[in-house]
Amino acid sequence: MTTVFVAAAALEDIPEGTCRAVNLNGIRVVVAHLADGFHAVENRCSHANSPLLTGKIYNGRQIACPIHGARFDLRTGAAKSPPAFTDLMIFPVRVADGQVEVGMPETNLA
């Protein structure tokens, strides 16, 4: 499957230590700017199927579900605490021409 990079935000819109929720071609994604660069995971708790909290990054690399507090690693998508045990989908990220771009499967492009 081919990956196509889609602009998610301007570089300055996601300062280091923050994350932002975006909808890219019908897929809810969280784009995070961590100390080691940009990362993207699906914006959906694998336990509660709800959007994740994007206002706070825990332990320098985790995001939480607002319903039951499950946490996920923003680098790997790994479920880090119950009640979630299923990992999140991750997406490649690059910076090009001042834009943070997320790699989306070509089948999701309109």
Residue position matching structure tokens 């332990």? 59
* Contact status, residue 103 vs residue 56, Cβ threshold 8 Å: no
The per-residue pLDDT for range 22-66, each reduced to its tens digit, is 999 899 999 999 999 999 999 999 998 999 988 789 999 999 999
* Contact status, residue 19 vs residue 63, Cβ threshold 8 Å: yes
For residue 100, give the amino acid letter.
V
As given in the structure block, the two tokens for residue 27 are 């897929």
d(Cα 10, Cα 16) in Å, to the nearest integer? 13
Which of 83, 92, 90, 37 is closest to 64 using CA atoms? 83
> Has this prediction a pTM greater than 0.75?
yes
pLDDT at residue number 54: 81
The per-residue pLDDT for range 61-100, each reduced to its tens digit, is 999 999 999 999 999 999 999 999 999 999 999 999 999 9
pLDDT at residue number 2: 87
